[in-house]
Structure 1
């Protein structure tokens, strides 16, 4: 297997980082302009939403995966690196998608005179870019500790483009609202990350991978407290995620319903965690992840739900599904999923539940003909299935690419180890 000492990234990481950053700067120079509109109440309201989204992305997801005994520094700092890189790339991609969708609408109108280009404000562009980067941060939970920053940079670029392709297809083919597409991003990110982690684990002998990870993925008390801090940030600000792209009554419903679902899933996850333990003890990993399941599940249908009890039932179901996904099948598919951070039962399964719930509510609340119901079924189920399929296919391709030796991946013996990437002055020189 070669030397167990990590290979230096002194040349590789700066080279790729500067190449990407230089490309982004030139593209911003040519295609992105500054907003000249006056600051008003709407601007400040949108900026508040952007602040909430940034807190979710930087602090929530950063600390959520920081509970590993020897990988807390990397979890927080690498999350910030991916967020900064992903937002820049997605702003450029959003500009391109906006132009494509605009000209597609013009061609459908068959207008003899070209319509003016719809204006996408920089603030809205940054807000959408931050939301579009959340699937990247979700998928990173499956591979953090097994890859270096160069591999993560490559993964960010590929996943951002894949999610952009999903948004384009959902808008032009399935005619799905952007809010629903963003909620499908939870499912896409979960199965993208799980597929990448599964492929990377295939090249390792099982005994080597297990011995390298068994002790390091255990939680330390202090680190677990920081992981709970990430959960609290996500719990508090998740209503902003679910309502960011909605307006009016739907936005109000989304905020209220998300709080109801989160509250019920928290109580359910805590009690079911105690029930699943022989001595009735609560598992902190369940609390880190399963309490968020209700917020994820209610994301897609949050604007449609008009009664609190529906959101509460959805939160109850999501909490049960999440604990079941965390506890029962672990022995059966632990080696296949490679899921130490729980993204499968935090975002994958609840996201699927939310997508199916949105479809059911839309069918029951809209008085459509039989042909219209068939069209809605094809659109909603097709868009959700497309997100899952794209996540697995592009995740497989990304896993193949990241397994190439040119990225200087860490040795399996150095998985989940901050010393692979960070300077520890108090340790022996030469590590």
Structure 2
């Protein structure tokens, strides 16, 4: 049984959280202000707020419930997701507003800045999926803060050096988060992971809650992909919503079919239906600015689901055995591979639409450079974070306490009375 007071929570988590939160309050007190312009970039509160709520639901409910599939990690899956999301969002608002603070003396807050910050936090939540159950809350907060810092730096480099638009730079969050997480879980590898931890299992009840999270993500993903699309061009935002929905629909059908085909008993795998149905939304999101026809989105969704489902079936175990990457939530198959596929689709579609060969070559060079910068920075920040977390000062949970809520949460009905 877990100790009544887990040392990592009493002596490390509480002071760490209070220090960070007080620091954020001080920064917000002196460096931020609410945007006074009611109609900024031709979007008003009334038509932007519903999309903001959609993204909020995805980040809090979608990613939170998606991590509840582990049989004894439901409280931690949802509770730590909320904790990490709100801390990462607060930091992302500050980091994204540094330029505004430098030139205007204040960080301007509006719904768009909140949305961008939550999307940055989503990248951290994706990365954390690789180490779910094997870390304590202090680890998770550190991972989120360092990952968001690296991702914001990556955005700034792409927008400054390569003049990449905000939409295209932030949609690389899937690739950045997945590669960051894989590097992290490789460095934090635990011996004996090949034999699966005792509590690294799922049952019907936890699987149902996890499926609920996947449904939330599936339903609101069109808003996630379309919210930053420039609506000054008629039909562009509507096209992004329609294309994302069609890609998600195709990926759900395809994931079900491939799951049955790859199953030894010819049955649906519930984990495939929870993760791989999202592959189309990930892939078309990365390529959203280049997808203009429904059939293009559907083709991308079909291919992404095939790659994701096959990767989930065969690649996860090979990554564990060959590279010692214990990817708890199969982030590589759910986000990494579909993200890379979306990047490739963006390149191909842009080259096809270009009539000027010189401009096409120029775009290809910049597009490839953006990917290389993203990969390099995600791997570098992942290595730095992993080496920092290997320090025993953070007191990682013992193997027999991995994937167990009791190590971190109070359950009065389980208390032993003397």
TM tier, smaller: over 0.9
Residue matched to 1:57: 59
Contact 1:242/1:254 (<8 A) preserved: yes
Which of 298, 304, 311 is the aligned partner of 1:325? 311
Residue matched to 2:81: 79
Which of 180, 191, 196 is the aligned partner of 2:168? 180
Which of 357, 361, 366 is the aligned partner of 1:379? 366
Residue matched to 2:50: 48
Structure 2 matches for 1:220-259, cutoff 5 A?
Answer: 220-248=203-231, 249-259=235-245
CA distance in structure 1 between the partners assigned to 2:90 and 2:206 by the alignment: 30
Residue matched to 2:255: 269
**TM-score, normalised relative to structure 1:** 0.90
* Per-residue deviation, 1:39: 8.2
Unmatched 5+ stretches in structure 2: none
Moved more, 90-99 or 252-261: 90-99
Structure 2 matches for 1:275-286, cutoff 5 A?
Answer: 275-286=261-272
Given the superposition, is the C-alpha separation of residues 331 and 61 from structure 1 closer, same or farther in structure 2, using an over 3 Å criterion? closer
Contact 1:250/1:304 (<8 A) preserved: no
* Per-residue deviation, 1:98: 4.2
CA-to-aligned-CA distance 1:5-51 (integer Å, 9 cap, x gap):
95442121111111111111111111101233458971121111110
Does residue 287 of the first structure (1) align with residue 273 of the second (2)? yes
* Per-residue deviation, 1:138: 0.6
In structure 1, the residue corresponding to 2:185 is in which secondary structure? Answer: helix
In structure 1, the residue corresponding to 2:328 is in which secondary structure? Answer: coil
CA distance in structure 2 between the partners assigned to 1:121 and 1:25 by the alignment: 14
* Per-residue deviation, 1:373: 2.4
CA-to-aligned-CA distance 1:331-372 (integer Å, 9 cap, x gap):
4222422112121111000000001111111222133342x2
CA distance in structure 2 between the partners assigned to 1:429 and 1:221 by the alignment: 29
Given the superposition, is the C-alpha separation of residues 129 and 152 from structure 1 closer, same or farther in structure 2, using an over 3 Å criterion? same
Residue matched to 1:366: 354
Given the superposition, is the C-alpha separation of residues 286 and 12 from structure 1 closer, same or farther in structure 2, using an over 3 Å criterion? same
CA-to-aligned-CA distance 1:193-244 (integer Å, 9 cap, x gap):
111111111xx332xx455x43312111101000000000000000111111
Given the superposition, is the C-alpha separation of residues 220 and 195 from structure 1 closer, same or farther in structure 2, using an over 3 Å criterion? same
Which of 66, 69, 72 is the aligned partner of 2:68? 66
CA distance in structure 2 between the partners assigned to 1:188 and 1:312 by the alignment: 24
Matched residue count? 408
Residue matched to 1:24: 24
CA distance in structure 2 between the partners assigned to 1:35 and 1:329 by the alignment: 47
Unmatched 5+ stretches in structure 1: 104-115
Contact 1:54/1:130 (<8 A) preserved: yes
Given the superposition, is the C-alpha separation of residues 163 and 205 from structure 1 closer, same or farther in structure 2, using an over 3 Å criterion? same
Does residue 417 of the first structure (1) align with residue 404 of the second (2)? yes
CA distance in structure 2 between the partners assigned to 1:242 and 1:39 by the alignment: 22
CA distance in structure 1 between the partners assigned to 2:128 and 2:107 by the alignment: 33
Residue matched to 2:383: 396
CA distance in structure 1 between the partners assigned to 2:411 and 2:382 by the alignment: 33
CA-to-aligned-CA distance 1:82-137 (integer Å, 9 cap, x gap):
1110111111111104456xx6xxxxxxxxxxxx8999542221111111111001
In structure 2, the residue corresponding to 1:289 is in which secondary structure? Answer: helix
Structure 2 matches for 1:119-138, cutoff 5 A?
Answer: 120-138=108-126
CA distance in structure 2 between the partners assigned to 1:251 and 1:316 by the alignment: 22
Q: Give the alignment's Cα RMSD to 1 decimal.
A: 2.2
* Per-residue deviation, 1:420: 0.6
Residue matched to 2:98: 96
Residue matched to 1:304: 290
In structure 2, the residue corresponding to 1:10 is in which secondary structure? Answer: helix
In structure 2, the residue corresponding to 1:176 is in which secondary structure? Answer: coil
* Per-residue deviation, 1:267: 0.4
CA distance in structure 1 between the partners assigned to 2:76 and 2:338 by the alignment: 27
CA distance in structure 1 between the partners assigned to 2:177 and 2:44 by the alignment: 31
CA distance in structure 2 between the partners assigned to 1:8 and 1:376 by the alignment: 49
